[in-house]
Amino acid sequence: GGVNVYLQQKSGLFRKTPRWLDGLLDSPGLLASAAKRSGMTRATELGELTAGLGMIAGEVRALAAGDLRVPHIGWNDVRFERPCELTAELPAGGAPFYHVHSYAAHPADGDDVVGTTAYGERFATVVQRGSVYGTQFHPEKSSRDGLTLLAGFVRLAHTSKASPAYA
């Protein structure tokens, strides 16, 4: 995970995929963990600033955890900053989710932030821009609340006319 965007750019992936990206932006999409990082505009990984897919404007930087252990591995509370269809069936104030990461997303537009987590710093852990959603945590490893979030995505995909995508 830690070199995700860096390796994808170095491999030339971003130069090869513009057609599928255009289609994804019209469909409900859920980018989890490392895929969320790829969806941002840019990331600093392995000391280099690299381009992301640009689905959500902003930057991914190394987690400023202070004296806390990195990577951040374990359960942490996610505070919901605004209502969102993806999280509609979860407690309004937030819920615990399972995290495994060394990087944090910082969207350029605060309106894209749905939920935040504090681990050394407060960072965006749930984002949304149009029909594209991203989570820093692993919903598939997050017990009941993770399954509830995934069910919310299935509900969104079911009501959409476009094909959904999960990465």
| Residue-wise pLDDT tens digits, 26-39 | 667 776 656 555 67
Of the listed ranges 19-28, 84-93, 136-145, the least confidently predicted one is 19-28
State pTM to two decimals.
Answer: 0.80
- pLDDT grade for 160, boundaries at 50, 70 and 90: confident
Q: How far apart are CA 81 and CA 79, in angstroms?
A: 6
pLDDT at 84 over 60: yes
120 touches 64 (CB < 8 A): yes
Residue 115: which residues within 8 A CB-CB, separation 6 or more?
78, 79, 80, 81, 87, 94, 124, 125, 126
Please give the average per-residue pLDDT across 75-95, as a whole number.
96
| Residue-wise pLDDT tens digits, 108-140 | 999 999 999 999 999 999 999 888 888 999 999
pLDDT at 21: 55
pLDDT at 55 over 90: no
